[in-house]
Structure 1
Amino acid sequence: MMEEQAGPVTVSIARKAVPGREADYEDWISRVTAAVSHWPGYQGVNVLRPAAATDYAYVTIYRFSTWEQCHAFEKSEERARLLLELEGMVESEAEIKKVTGLEFWFDLPEVPAQARPSPHKMALVVTLVAYGVVMGLNITIGPLIAAQPLWLKALIMVSAQVLLMTYIFMPQATRLLRRWLFGG
């Protein structure tokens, strides 16, 4: 069990749907998303559909403002009832990762889970990578979407930034800076 920490909590849950039950699982995800959206401290959810990058699993990532609020949802009767509905819909137990703050971008399989970079190092790396990604996106796709409404431009840019940072740039930066991040 994770020790209580201040700040936001990000939970990642990977599950593989039983072949032929994908539509049922997607419906289940929609109901869980609707249920969790009413909980105190809820900050959002993202669902990654099966692809090579997710090892062909659905990955649900949700966030809460505090560990206590996340824990309250996870121990709720409502969530327990929803989890019972998964019987026969998923192949095996879910892979669950729970991190606070920026830690989810600094997860390396070869580094023990309890090893965490200092918050200062994480903030510096995320700032530098985010700056590079934002500048690159503004140069490359910025002109292509310039005529779109502001809300759509922001959605495209933020989505591209999060995806690029999560799946390409932060894993590369974390591996490249591993000694400095996890060293002393």
Structure 2
Amino acid sequence: MATQGQASPDYPLTVVISRQVKSGKETEFEALSAEMTTRASHFPGYLGATMFRPASADDPEYRIVFKFAGQAALSDWEQSPERLEVLQQIEQLLITPSERETVSGIVSWFTLPGHNPVQPPPRYKMTLVSWLALYPA
């Protein structure tokens, strides 16, 4: 489990989960992942999710990217019985345990799932660049 960025309760968090599914269990895994997303969508602070299927035999991982409004909302979801029930079923379908990355801030916009994000620049630099880009508009 890797954590990048400086997570803060005030900032949206993006979580990237990488999973390798046992051969022949893909349909069951996708159904359970859809159920997990449906359950998450009922939690306060849930901002959305996307599943990326394996790109090729060289990259056999499913990647699920989901977002929550902040650390408190994410923690509530991660500790919920609704999540733990489905997670237990999903884990039985995996070759290896899930890998998890959490990122916050604008860096998550430019990071491909499963790849380590670059270290974000200092907050004042990002604010200055954002202001310069928006001011002319």
TM-score tier after normalising by the smaller chain length: 0.7 to 0.9
Corresponding position of 2:77: 73
Larger radius of gyration: 1
Corresponding position of 1:18: 22
Match of 2:41 among 37, 44, 50: 37
Letter in 2 for 1:71: S
Q: TM-score, normalised by structure 2?
A: 0.76
Matched, 1:50 2:59: no
Residues 4 and 68 in structure 1, CA contact (< 8 A), matched pair in contact too: no
Matched, 1:94 2:98: yes
Bigger relative contact order (CA 8 A; separation at least 6): 2
Query: How many residues get paired?
Result: 123
For structure 1, which runs of at least 5 residues remain unmatched after alignment?
129-184
Residues 41 and 48 in structure 2, CA contact (< 8 A), matched pair in contact too: yes
% identity of equivalent residues: 28
Q: TM-score, normalised by structure 1?
A: 0.58
Aligned alpha-carbon RMSD (Å)? 2.9
Shift in alpha-carbon separation, 1:31–1:106, aligned structure 2, 3 A: closer
Corresponding position of 2:68: 64
Alignment of 1:100-179 (within 5 A): 100-104=104-108, 105=110, 109=116, 115-122=119-126, 124=129
The structure where helix makes up a greater share of residues is: 1
Corresponding position of 1:27: 31
Quote the Cα distance in structure 2 between the aligned partners of 1:50 and 1:21. Answer: 13
Q: Deviations over 1:70-92 (max 9, x none)?
A: 11101111111111112431111
